[in-house]
Amino acid sequence: MKSTLNRIADLIEEYNSTNIFDGNKLNQQLKELTSRLYHIETMRTKAHEDYEKVIHTKVAEGFSVARATNEAKVEVPEMYQLRRLLESGYRVVDAMRTNISFLKSEMYNVTKD
């Protein structure tokens, strides 16, 4: 998981320094970033299962749902971390797509004239 998260961070840094008109590079980065985010989604699914299992177990032991939820947050901290990372990652994906769409419209306008 750590290597995937590190590569996502690297991709975002690469995107940040990529020339805004380099459509090929943006497409490559978008492809790899979405693939990496898919892998993170599978990890988040596992974390969610662990999180729900902790809640179920704690409630069965007599904890309130609120207390069991707090315990799950402590025992499965990656649940929050992965959720936040995915939200941010998908925002970067949206920005990349917007940039690529802009390039397409600029090419259309240039060829149209």
The mean pLDDT of 80-101, rounded to a whole number, is: 94
Q: At 2, is the pLDDT very low, low, confident or very high (cuts 50, 70, 90)?
A: confident
pLDDT in tens, 64-82: 999 999 999 999 999 999 9
Note the pLDDT of residue 108: 63
Mean pLDDT of 35-60: 96
- 80 neighbors 73 (Cβ within 8 angstroms): yes
Question: Cα separation of 30 and 77, whole Å?
Answer: 28
User: Mean pLDDT, to the nearest integer, of 85-90?
Assistant: 94
CA 101 to chain centroid, in Å, comes to 21
Question: What per-residue string of b and e applies to 18-41 under the rule 16 or more CB within 10 Å gives b?
Answer: beeeebeebeebbeebeebbeebe
Summarize pLDDT for 6-33 with one digit per residue, the tens.
999 999 999 999 998 999 999 999 999 9
